[in-house]
Structure 1
Amino acid sequence: MQSPKMEAFPSLPPPVHEYHSPPSPRTHRTLRKLQSAHNLGAAARITNPPPLVPLVPLVPQQILQDPSLRSISPTRQQSLNRSPQRHRANSDATPPNLLVVNPAIPLNTKRSALSRTSSAADNMSIDRLIRDGPPEGDVDGALESMRLKVLDQGIKSDTDGMSSSRIYVWLIFLDAPVVTTDDYLGLVHRGASPAYSKIRNDTFRTLTTDPLFRRRVSEASLIRLLNAIAWKLHDVNEERRPTSSRQSLPASSCGSPSRSEISQNMASSPAAKSRARALTLTTEDSEVNASEPGTYVQGMNVLAAPFLYAARSEAEAFAAFYRLLTRECPGYIRGAMDGVHRGLALVDRVLAIVDPKLSLYLTSKALSAEIYAFPSVLTLCACTPPLPEVLRLWDFLFAYGPHLNILCIVAQLIMMRNELLDSLSPIKLLRSFPALQADQIKRTALAIVKMIPDDVYTEIVKHAL
């Protein structure tokens, strides 16, 4: 059965920044676009997430060497029975391009297939879906159609990875609620959060070798976003504590500082002036509760970077980033980052299943994922350039589940297996992964999905919660 024809992306004009011009028809179109994106995303809760991609298992050599994988025509596969064990996975929809290489290998009948799509949405572009909302109010069908479009066509962007639609697609897939600019500014204007000193120790070195990021995103913007996130997480933690155990912060940290306090801080030293300019309002009391868990961990600066790069405002980046942290991977920033360590253990387990030879070789060199894959797990591979490829990989992860990042890391290891096996010191190669190739990583990761047992996949789905 052939996939329905999908409308090509319209050419989207670059954003025009007009700060003092009167309202125009474009303004109203933008407002409608934001409203329809909210209707498609935050207003609807998906109660039945799509099932797992049914793919024929491929051994690593087939994944890497079979030239037929580069020219496979779009096909679809029959539905299978759904596994009752998996509840939150979004990685279950049949992709337009199935990697069917060895039909003799039986499919795992516990994995299910394609969720219902909307025929009307199938004939609409992603940009039109965002602008007009789900046709006939069919939210679930429109979401499934959008997932397939992202996997098959991708999100249209320029060579720098810039797209006027990407951030809205991410907000929809993350089911992020609307955050008003006033709410975001309220967090910014509270001044330095308990984690402020940690944030300032990290922001200046965020993607320092990426000229695209440095040209578009300022350190001040990154500081504001992370500080606002830290305040929000701090408030949530305080609300969960018994009243008797809540910590009281100085007045200058809990509310907006007075004008005299701001002036005193700005005049105290050049460093204080720099911090005040970067954060708009700040204080010197940045060490209060700096070790409080669940507000900021090292590496969140890199995880936040693609959101600021893709978003058209800091408030949009805040909404998407906060939703990712609190809904998809809260275990990555909680306590001793237990979710990250569970993810690293799963990288080792999955690699041992899909490529025992490479796994044994790395083990013989005393190389576990804890040594070389920690940044890739924590940042969803955002630590590996180039940034435009990171954005394309994130399109896939947000559409089908950020937990699939574990398989994407294993896919990168398989893609460099020959170099690793030929190296007497593979750690030199693993210190810095090769440049991301999003399309090849996605294809390899989707092939790996069917090579792992159901119980391992269930752990992957839940590891970051």
Structure 2
Amino acid sequence: MTSSPAKNGPHIPSPTSTGQQLSSPRSTRTLRKLQSAHQLSSNYNALNTPSLISQQRQQQQRYPSSSHNIALPPVPSIPANHSPQKPAHHRTRSNSDAVMPSDHIPALVTRRAAPLKRQGLGSSKDELRALISRGPRGDVDSSLQRLRSLIIEDGIETDNDGMSQLRIYVWLILLNAPTLSTDTYLSLIHRGPSPAYAKIRNDTFRTLATDPLFKRRVSEASLIRLLNAIAWKLHDAKSASLLSNSQPLTNSANEFGSPELQHASPAIKHAHNASTTTNTEGSEAGGSSPGIYVQGMNVLCAPFLYAARSEAEAFVAFHRFITRECPGYVRGAMDGVHNGLKLVDKCLAILDPKLSAHLVSKGMKAEVYAFASVLTMCACTPPLPEVLQLWDFLFAYGPHLNVLCICVQLLMMKERLLGSPSPGNMLRNFPHLKAKDIITGTVNCVRKIPNDLYEELVHHME
């Protein structure tokens, strides 16, 4: 019988110990670099520029009185006995890539264009392939908007297993992820077990355990390496932040005031105090301090590993996603996830009051049945190819829309839920995802959400 890791000390699988081998730093063959994935975002500072959704938030804070509304054109409704369609609300797009005048912001959803034959391209699939490989021809902002339109019109071309050579590069562009040296990723692996290693090992073997596609392509060793590298990366960032906050005061100042006083906020002090609650496994016991690993991150990173062509690509995309798009989901207290659960209840009460009242009368609030779906962006619900297609939409228009995606899944189950005396039994496992129907229903539901509630959706992951 083999000894447990706790007795003999933790062990990180080496890059050459599995079927999915990683090249060593000295090898002449290195993992594919990510430069071709960033031709669309070449005008941005990759390391410091906020992601697409973050830039829109900054714009709203800078110009609170300006109007950046988007008129949504009609889209087909899903067959879910919805109430008659109301006049469309004007909606601020949350995932804008640049600051633009309101009259130049394109629509969130565009009508299907006629077959594309311009510039020698035979179809939208060919256009997407050329856009990724050659980069934008002209304006970057309009090219990014065209990329979003192509995703929602025809989607990304895949094989029967949901695999696509383009998908990971589309995700990296939409996340505005920086380029990464392969040696940087390998150096994190070679540091050995992180403080969160024991907790990671306790979760990885259960990751999408019943999905044969995932198990065939992604090994547990690959999951362990990536999550352990992420834990080290977050650990270093947390240590650097605490160190910078403990520096002695100086007389230096700039146009924004003293750098020390800029960081002397109650939030920073609270984060410093909460850091003392870190347990031996590296996951936060509570508070608002950022953790280095929380349960559920294993499922959240699984689609990145499945879609990527290398661990280094999956690493940079996943790190960018959890640190820029949903940092509230990976804090020790998971306050972003709990905010999302409350929003599921609020949105469902507006979208379908009858269904909402029925679930509440049975004691079925979202915190009972939707925790995993909120935390993992629906990655916990099979099949995996449908998850990837849904994520294409979420990365294009904002991962906050996952809350509405969950509501749409409930609306698609409406008749069965209303007819069941125990809807909780049905909600233990959601029906298999149907990405196209969910995306169509989500866009349809956006119009019905009041502006103030939609604003909560946009910011609940911060």
Cα deviation per residue 1:271-301 (whole Å; 9 max; x = unaligned)? xxxxxxxxxxxxxxx9464547511110000
Distance 1:213 1:146, change over 3 A: same
- Counterpart for residue 214 of structure 1: 215
Deviation at 1:179, TM superposition (A): 1.3
Contact 2:91 2:451 in 1 (8 A): no
Distance 1:289 1:414, change over 3 A: closer
Are 1:164 and 2:178 counterparts? no
Letter aligned with residue 80 of structure 2: L
Are 1:133 and 2:135 counterparts? yes
Letter aligned with residue 417 of structure 1: K
Distance 1:417 1:288, change over 3 A: closer
- Counterpart for residue 331 of structure 2: 334
Mapped partners of 1:128, 1:150: distance in 2: 14
Deviation at 1:37, TM superposition (A): 2.1
- Counterpart for residue 179 of structure 1: 180
Are 1:64 and 2:80 counterparts? yes
TM-score, structure 2 as length reference: 0.72
Distance 1:206 1:56, change over 3 A: same
- Counterpart for residue 346 of structure 1: 343
- Counterpart for residue 202 of structure 1: 203
- Counterpart for residue 192 of structure 2: 191
Alignment size in residue pairs: 367
- Counterpart for residue 261 of structure 1: none
Deviation at 1:36, TM superposition (A): 3.6
Mapped partners of 1:306, 1:53: distance in 2: 32
Deviation at 1:127, TM superposition (A): 1.3
Are 1:406 and 2:408 counterparts? no
Distance 1:175 1:53, change over 3 A: farther
Distance 1:289 1:416, change over 3 A: closer
Mapped partners of 2:455, 2:141: distance in 1: 23
- Counterpart for residue 310 of structure 2: 313
Cα deviation per residue 1:402-421 (whole Å; 9 max; x = unaligned)? 01000000000000011100
2:444 is matched with which residue: 428, 442, 447? Answer: 447
Are 1:464 and 2:461 counterparts? yes
- Counterpart for residue 147 of structure 1: 148
- Counterpart for residue 263 of structure 1: none
- Counterpart for residue 94 of structure 1: 108
1:394 is matched with which residue: 391, 395, 417? Answer: 391
Mapped partners of 1:443, 1:244: distance in 2: 46
Cα deviation per residue 1:50-96 (whole Å; 9 max; x = unaligned)? 864625699x9x75259xx9xxxxxxxxx99775xx76567983323
RMSD between superposed Cα atoms in Å: 3.4
Structure 2, unmatched stretches of 5+, are: 1-20, 60-67, 98-104, 113-117, 248-278
SS at match of 2:206: coil
Structure 1, unmatched stretches of 5+, are: 1-16, 70-78, 99-118, 247-285
Cα deviation per residue 1:12-32 (whole Å; 9 max; x = unaligned)? xxxxx9x9xxx99xx9xx87x
Mapped partners of 1:447, 1:332: distance in 2: 26
Letter aligned with residue 383 of structure 2: P
Distance 1:437 1:290, change over 3 A: closer
- Counterpart for residue 368 of structure 1: 365
Letter aligned with residue 365 of structure 2: S
- Counterpart for residue 224 of structure 2: 223
Mapped partners of 2:196, 2:42: distance in 1: 29
SS at match of 2:155: coil
% identity of equivalent residues: 56
Pairing of 1:280-319 with structure 2 (within 5 A): 287=280, 289-291=282-284, 293-319=290-316
- Counterpart for residue 54 of structure 1: 72
Mapped partners of 1:214, 1:53: distance in 2: 43
Distance 1:80 1:211, change over 3 A: closer
Distance 1:438 1:244, change over 3 A: closer
